[in-house]
Structure 1
Amino acid sequence: MPRLFTGIEIPPEISLALSAYRGGLPGARWIDPENYHITLRFIGDIDARTADDVASMLGDSRWREPIVITIEGLDTFGGSKPRAVFARTSGNGELADLQAEQERMMRQIGLPPETRKFVPHVTLARLKNVSPIDVADYMATRGHFPKLAFTANRFVLYSSKASTGGGPYVIEAAYPLS
């Protein structure tokens, strides 16, 4: 069964800039820069027939405008038990609309609804048993940086192998936003 999700690719120059924030946090598992992306809709482990339905339905997407995405700083998920360091995005009404359209499409296919709130971001590191004090120190020294912006001209359907996260991801199909 393929494990699928949709997302926005991060251009190489933005990935390079974000990769400068790797390191300096004991116990963090850093994502390889070539696997940076913004997840739109996690689809999960599905059979080949459903995967074909997903790919076909995404091809019918009505969204056809490029989206300007701004990355404005670092943040964490998990509160007092941090589980990820990520690059925060801003001004993403269009990104949220695209994600909502994909959510409707996946429900039409019969997939269960996504239960997590959509928070567009680029995961940089996964954290397990990492000291909250170490995370706070990391964020205090690296949490602010100049804004990075790019225009997304397509979204993609990714596949991945079941793993502890972080890739490698394979682009199965691409859908233009132009």
Structure 2
Amino acid sequence: MARLFFALEIPAPVKKGLLNVAAPVAGAKWQHASQLHLTLLFLGNVDRESLPEISSALKELPLAGFELEVRGVGCFGRPETPRNVWAGVCPEPPVVALHGILKERLGHLGFHFEKRPFRPHITLARFRKQRGSVAGVLAAHREGCFGAFLVEEFVLLESTQGGSGSVYTVVERFPLANSLDETADSHQR
């Protein structure tokens, strides 16, 4: 069994800016650069024998690549007792559309997903029992812009527990239709 989920990878220049959000907050477990991603859909524990069927269901998705900007910082929960701190993305509609197609195609394979509405975000910090206030972090970065990048693919990641948190390994890459006339410079933003 493998613990799997679909995600968008975040380019190094954007990660660098996101790592600067980290501040000393009681109970905060800030993510390392290798842990920063945008979760599209969590599958959970999956038999490896199912991977070819999953891969086949996601070939030739009818979605074009798109530009995504990482902007703003918020939290789930109240700022005084947060569950996590996250960075937002815009525009959200193409990410929500990709999530919807993944959910639809994999639902036909018998997967079941959580009922909460999908809200695209990049988790920056998680909290367990002790939770310090992140009001200062939010005030400092609420309107922050961390960069933009071209989304040309999404990945299937495997999550394993490591000594300093989760370790994510790419299992497979899935390209999106390439209908954007962007230069190679858009990858460097």
Task: Provide closer, same or farther for how the CA distance between residues 164 and 28 of structure 1 changes in structure 2, counting only shifts above 3 A.
Answer: farther
Equivalent pairs counted in the alignment come to 176
| TM-align CA RMSD | 2.1
Task: Provide closer, same or farther for how the CA distance between residues 164 and 46 of structure 1 changes in structure 2, counting only shifts above 3 A.
Answer: farther
Local SS of the residue matching 2:106: helix
CA distance in 2, matches of 1:128, 1:118: 22
Task: Provide closer, same or farther for how the CA distance between residues 105 and 164 of structure 1 changes in structure 2, counting only shifts above 3 A.
Answer: farther
Tell me the equivalent position of 2:45: 45
Tell me the equivalent position of 1:110: 110
Instruction: Give the superposition deviation at 1:37.
Output: 0.8
Matched, 1:122 2:131: no
Segments of 5+ residues of structure 2 without an aligned counterpart are 179-189
- Map 1:15-94; keep pairs closer than 5 Å: 15-63=15-63, 65-79=64-78, 81-94=81-94
Contact kept, 8 Å, 1:3 with 1:162, in 2: the verdict is no
Task: Provide closer, same or farther for how the CA distance between residues 113 and 142 of structure 1 changes in structure 2, counting only shifts above 3 A.
Answer: closer
Task: Provide closer, same or farther for how the CA distance between residues 142 and 26 of structure 1 changes in structure 2, counting only shifts above 3 A.
Answer: farther
Instruction: Give the superposition deviation at 1:166.
Output: 5.2
Local SS of the residue matching 1:175: strand
Segments of 5+ residues of structure 1 without an aligned counterpart are none
Contact kept, 8 Å, 1:2 with 1:51, in 2: the verdict is no
Contact kept, 8 Å, 1:24 with 1:138, in 2: the verdict is no
Contact kept, 8 Å, 1:40 with 1:99, in 2: the verdict is yes
Tell me the equivalent position of 2:152: 153
Instruction: Give the superposition deviation at 1:55.
Output: 2.2
Q: Deviations over 1:133-152 (max 9, x none)?
A: x2223322333313521111
Q: Which has a greater percent of strand? A: 2
Instruction: Give the superposition deviation at 1:44.
Output: 0.5
Local SS of the residue matching 1:106: helix
Instruction: Give the superposition deviation at 1:95.
Output: 1.2
Q: Deviations over 1:38-82 (max 9, x none)?
A: 11110000112223321222224332x112111111000123641
Local SS of the residue matching 1:69: strand
Contact kept, 8 Å, 1:66 with 1:154, in 2: the verdict is yes
Matched, 1:12 2:12: yes
**Aligned letter for 2:41?**
R
Contact kept, 8 Å, 1:36 with 1:122, in 2: the verdict is yes
After TM superposition, the score normalised by the length of structure 1 is 0.89
After TM superposition, the score normalised by the length of structure 2 is 0.84
Kindly, what percent of the aligned residue pairs are identical?
Answer: 28
Instruction: Give the superposition deviation at 1:165.
Output: 9.4
**Aligned letter for 1:33?**
A
CA distance in 2, matches of 1:116, 1:3: 20
